[in-house]
Amino acid sequence: MSEAATLDLFRRLWPFGRREEQTPRRASARSRRLPRPHVDLSRLGPALAGVRALALPLVGPLRIITPLGWVATAGGAAMLVAGLTFGWAEAVAMGCIGLVAALAAVVWTLGRADYRAEIDLDARRVKVGDQVLGRVRVTNLRRRQLLGSTIELPVGRSVASFALPSLAHEQAHEQIFTVPTRRRAVITIGPVSSVRSDPLALVRRVRAWCDPVEVFVHPRTVPLSTGLTGFLKDVEGITTHDLSSSDVAFHALREYVPGDDRRAIHWRTTARLGKLMVRQFEETKRTHLLIVLSLNPADYADADEFETAVSTAGSLVLQGMRDERQVSLVSHDGVVAAHSGTLVLDELSRIDVRPKASSFHLLASQAVLKVPECSVVALVTGSAVTPAELRLSRTSLPLEVGAFAVRCAGQAPASRRSLTDLTVLDVPALDDLPRALRSLK
């Protein structure tokens, strides 16, 4: 055997040699693999939109079929197919009954109605405990007489229904109803809908004839006579002992200091004394009340305490507006626009607890940032807030701002105590609030 043949045989049998020869083969095999197909999902958007556009006209009419109607239709078709396949006469009969009932239900509800519906209420804004008296008026606008149907009127989470008799052209039917208001809420009434259904309730056609209306059930409030202090600069406010170089309440004259406004120089006195003299004024200020209302359910022992807190905030807002003071209300939902007392009560009718709300002292610090011009802060919360939390809330407020806290404690007696420079009022019920606030004077 020659030397070249011996070396070739050695390379074939030696394992390292085989690996060196196989490595480029494997690499070449990998390089020859085809790339994976890439699916562009963005191209499916127009296709899905087209399918949806084609399906909506078909799905819309099928909405009139009730779940019981789908059971009768699908079950009847399945029984008919099974009966014809296996020769079961009973199954064929049941299938025919189901399909005929579904077809008869569709024929029963055929026809077009044209009504004009109106909802009239004696009041859109009421207090807790008052009743709302309403009237529904339905008029037939078709030129021919329409058969009777059922009218449904959603009232909050419930639905009231009454029978609408057969009406001739331009004939109207009125129905009187009352809405009790047991708690603070915003009650949506309407829309008035006509319902046509077959006796077996396999098909149900509903059509609305008017827009819904809202009834605001305001929280209960009490009149207050507060003498809260705390001031903010105002041209038409109360004069104080703080001196200013420019205001409307004149105080005295003093010597000119470099940097004073030369428009304040009193020239007669300057000519008499031979040195520059400027006017000095007393600052005029006014009260800006900031009410901080907690929406954290952990701050209240029960739902009654939260309702008392909402009523307390509403009472403070109304009294501040009666006193012609600027009032701001801040909760975990943000700043409530206080353009008028009615609008504030409307917002308080919608307000509700927020399970994931921040702690009370964080809310107080955020409220001051949102309303930096406040001069008095009223902290309104429940009995679950500890004195340490209230003390921490006070430290987050500016030192020059007056503050007091109202704890709506339903199980505790009415009391007044001081936590350093924070006065805490424990109010078990809303009727105890006026007497508690009188103790701040």
Within 10 angstroms of residue 11's Cβ, the number of other Cβ atoms is 13
Q: Are residues 175 and 274 in the same domain?
A: no
pLDDT tens-digit readout, 40-57: 545 555 655 665 665 555
Angle between helices 360-370 and 387-395 (to 10 degrees): 20
Q: Between the CA of residue 158 and those of 85, 120, 138, 148, 188, what are the distances in Å?
A: 47, 19, 20, 23, 10
In a domain, 140, yes or no: yes
Please say which residue of 285, 319, 344 terminates a domain: 285
Query: In this model, does residue 251 exceed pLDDT 80?
Result: no
Which residues make Cβ contacts (< 8 Å) with residue 124, sequence separation at least 6? Answer: 213, 214, 215, 216
Query: In this model, does residue 32 exceed pLDDT 80?
Result: no
- Which residue has 């011996």 as its token pair? 6
Q: Between the CA of residue 426 and those of 45, 70, 145, 416, what are the distances in Å?
A: 61, 60, 66, 6
Q: Are residues 360 and 346 in the same domain?
A: yes
Query: In this model, does residue 235 exceed pLDDT 50?
Result: no
Which residues make Cβ contacts (< 8 Å) with residue 71, sequence separation at least 6? Answer: none
For the chain, percent of residues with pLDDT exceeding 90: 38
Question: What does the pLDDT read at residue 404?
Answer: 93
Question: What does the pLDDT read at residue 40?
Answer: 52
* Average pLDDT of the chain to the nearest whole number: 81
* Run of H or E residues at 365: helix 360-370
Please say which residue of 89, 108, 127 terminates a domain: 108
Q: Between these two residues, 308 and 106, which has the higher pLDDT value?
A: 308
Q: What is the distance between the alpha carbons of residues 150 and 189, in angstroms, rounded to a whole number?
A: 17
Mean pLDDT value of segment 145-174 = 89
Residue whose C-alpha is closest to residue 381's, from 308, 309, 312? 309
Q: Are residues 183 and 260 in the same domain?
A: no
Judged by phi (left if over 0) then psi (alpha if -120 to 50, else beta), residue 318 lies in: alpha
In a domain, 3, yes or no: no
Q: What is the distance between the alpha carbons of residues 121 and 101, in angstroms, rounded to a whole number?
A: 42
CATH number of the domain where residue 412 is located: 3.40.50.410
Question: What does the pLDDT read at residue 246?
Answer: 45
Q: What is the distance between the alpha carbons of residues 62 and 83, in angstroms, rounded to a whole number?
A: 26
Lowest model confidence (mean pLDDT) among 151-155, 223-227, 420-424: 223-227
Q: Are residues 356 and 256 in the same domain?
A: no
Question: What does the pLDDT read at residue 52?
Answer: 60
Q: Label residue 9 by pLDDT band (50, 70, 90).
A: low
Which residues make Cβ contacts (< 8 Å) with residue 380, sequence separation at least 6? Answer: 291, 292, 293, 294, 309, 312, 313, 316, 405, 406, 408
Q: Label residue 391 by pLDDT band (50, 70, 90).
A: very high
Give the length of the chain: 441
Q: Between these two residues, 251 and 320, which has the higher pLDDT value?
A: 320
In a domain, 401, yes or no: yes
- How far from the centroid of its chain's Cα atoms is residue 191's Cα? 21
Q: Are residues 403 and 311 in the same domain?
A: yes
Q: Are residues 309 and 409 in the same domain?
A: yes
In a domain, 85, yes or no: yes
Q: Which two tokens stand for residue 286?
A: 């006014």
Q: Are residues 297 and 422 in the same domain?
A: yes
Q: Which two tokens stand for residue 10?
A: 């050695």
Question: What does the pLDDT read at residue 299?
Answer: 93
In a domain, 132, yes or no: yes
In a domain, 34, yes or no: no
DSSP string of 231-280? -EEEEEEEEEEEEESSSSEEEEEEE--TTS-GGGB-HHHHHHHTS-EEEE
Q: Please, are residues 376 and 328 in contact by the beta-carbon 8 Å criterion?
A: no
Q: Are residues 421 and 363 in the same domain?
A: yes
* Run of H or E residues at 116: strand 115-121
Q: Are residues 413 and 272 in the same domain?
A: no
Q: Are residues 80 and 171 in the same domain?
A: no
Question: What does the pLDDT read at residue 330?
Answer: 94
Q: Could you give the number of structural domains in the chain? A: 4
Q: Between the CA of residue 386 and those of 330, 353, 419, what are the distances in Å?
A: 21, 19, 11
Full residue range of the structural domain in which residue 249 is found: 239-285
Residue whose C-alpha is closest to residue 423's, from 293, 290, 228? 228
Query: In this model, does residue 165 exceed pLDDT 60?
Result: yes
Please say which residue of 166, 183, 218 terminates a domain: 218
Q: Label residue 225 by pLDDT band (50, 70, 90).
A: confident
Q: Are residues 153 and 103 in the same domain?
A: no
Question: What does the pLDDT read at residue 136?
Answer: 94
- How far from the centroid of its chain's Cα atoms is residue 412's Cα? 31
For the chain, percent of residues with pLDDT exceeding 70: 79
Mean pLDDT value of segment 412-427 = 88
Residue whose C-alpha is closest to residue 436's, from 419, 413, 420? 413
Q: DSSP class of residue 11?
A: H
Q: Are residues 370 and 405 in the same domain?
A: yes
Q: Between the CA of residue 4 and those of 7, 11, 29, 347, what are the distances in Å?
A: 5, 11, 30, 100
Collapsing DSSP states into helix, strand and coil, what is residue 205? strand
In a domain, 47, yes or no: no
Q: Which two tokens stand for residue 63?
A: 């909405």
Q: What is the distance between the alpha carbons of residues 244 and 371, in angstroms, rounded to a whole number?
A: 24
- Which residue has 């600027």 as its token pair? 326
CATH number of the domain where residue 210 is located: 2.60.40.10
Question: What does the pLDDT read at residue 25?
Answer: 47
In a domain, 302, yes or no: yes
Going along 10-72, which residue ranges are E strands? none
